[in-house]
A = this chain, B = another copy of it.
């Protein structure tokens, strides 16, 4: 089986990581690559680590250039996917790595993005209850945000088993590639190195409604989320520290049991042995999710921590995983749980 794939937005970090993974995928033939301001340039000048594609030249991002592929990945700024997707036809598998089709509630979209809601596609976090069924055979996939991936996988087992109060408090640290290649002063290396800083504090980060959606479903009630993202001096990785008050009667054993049950058969999510905590370096470049959980007996809170690579499981790896399901391929085709460390 050979699947011909196009990538719209091949010059950015998400596009580059996707190409890295697609180059290792046994069923993918890489077709058209497009860019916006970089159209016409050699990929070797933009993504020098992708040596086998160095001589490819970026096409402009138009429906004509993207036509004729089995799969089209969209790695575009939010709000731009719908216009491209609707021109691609219903038989093409469209995998949107942007935010456009993740949220179910139009009001959530409009409150956080300020534009009309484009719709809702099957959500590409296969580990969530019911997600795989919706993805199988689908021609449209909404890839989750990087933070919601890390947070949802850290916390949903506690909610699915009724162990946690519906008020989650989350602080996450992300590598700088999560902010993309945009030329902003605070993303300069001189500013980032040796520096930890928060942003989007107080509920304003756009990934917040997506987290609420992902936790409220398993919880069976609305979960409020206090989310504080921080920028860490590293290129990749998310460490999500997620806590929620434990319901009465919850024990360390019942917490651990919930997570063991949730992740016993998952190919990518790994509950670490007791006492060992996740570290982003361990999942660098891999699609693995390392999770650990504990019950703070004094504060009576569940502390669940996950580590992912924001570009791999958090974006491009998650996209390939969902593509595999949509195409009927083994879910782990072309993906690895092995990190590049140290």
Question: Which A residues are within 8 Å of any B CB, using their own CB?
Answer: 13, 16, 20, 23-24, 44-45, 47-52, 167, 169, 171, 173, 175-177, 179, 181, 183-185, 187-199, 201-203, 208, 224-226, 228, 230, 232-237, 239, 241, 243, 245, 270, 272-273, 276-286, 288, 290, 292, 294-301, 303, 305, 307, 336-342
For residue A182, which residue of chain B has the nearest CB?
A: B188
Q: B280 to A197, Cβ gap below 8 A?
A: yes
Beta-carbon contact of A13 and B190 below 8 Å: yes
Chain B residues with CB below 8 A from A295, complex form: 202
Question: What is the chain B residue whose CB lies nearest that of A172?
Answer: B171
A216 to B281, CA, bound (A): 37
The 14 sampled A-B contact pairs (Cβ below 8 Å) are A13-B190, A48-B279, A50-B338, A183-B183, A183-B188, A189-B235, A193-B194, A193-B234, A194-B237, A195-B237, A201-B303, A202-B297, A203-B299, A232-B233
Chain B residues with Cβ under 8 A from A337's Cβ? 51-52
- A contact patch SS: mixed
Extra 6 A-B pairs, beta carbons < 8 Å, given A52-B337, A169-B301, A233-B234: A48-B276, A49-B283, A173-B232, A189-B235, A194-B281, A202-B295
B-side contacts of A50, CB under 8 Å: 338-339
Are B16 and A241 touching (Cβ within 8 A)? no
A287 CB to nearest B CB, Å? 10
Alpha-carbon distance A183/B188, docked complex (angstroms): 7
B298/A203 in contact, CB under 8 A: yes
Which residue of the partner chain, among B45, B193, B203, B297, contacts A203 with CB atoms under 8 Å? Answer: B297
Q: Find chain B residues with CB under 8 A from A173 CB.
A: 173, 196, 230, 232
Closest to A199 in B: B277
The answer to whether A195 touches B20 (Cβ under 8 A) is no
In the complex, what residues of B have CB within 8 A of residue A189's CB?
176, 187-189, 191-193, 233, 235
Q: Which residue of B lies closest to A225 (CB)?
A: B299
Provided the pairs A195-B234, A278-B197 are in contact, do residues A340 and B20 lie with their beta carbons within 8 angstroms? yes
Distance in Å from the Cβ of A210 to the closest Cβ of chain B?
14
Q: A196 CA to B178 CA in the complex, in Å?
A: 15
- A85–B48 alpha-carbon span in the complex (Å): 40
Q: Which of A194, A282, A305 has the most CB of B within 10 A?
A: A194
* A177 in contact with B338 given A196-B234, A299-B224 (CB within 8 Å): no
Closest to A50 in B: B338
Interface centre among A16, A45, A241, A243 (most CB of B within 10 A): A241
Q: Which residues of B contact A285 (CB under 8 A)?
A: 285, 340
> Nearest-CB distance from A75 to chain B (Å)?
15
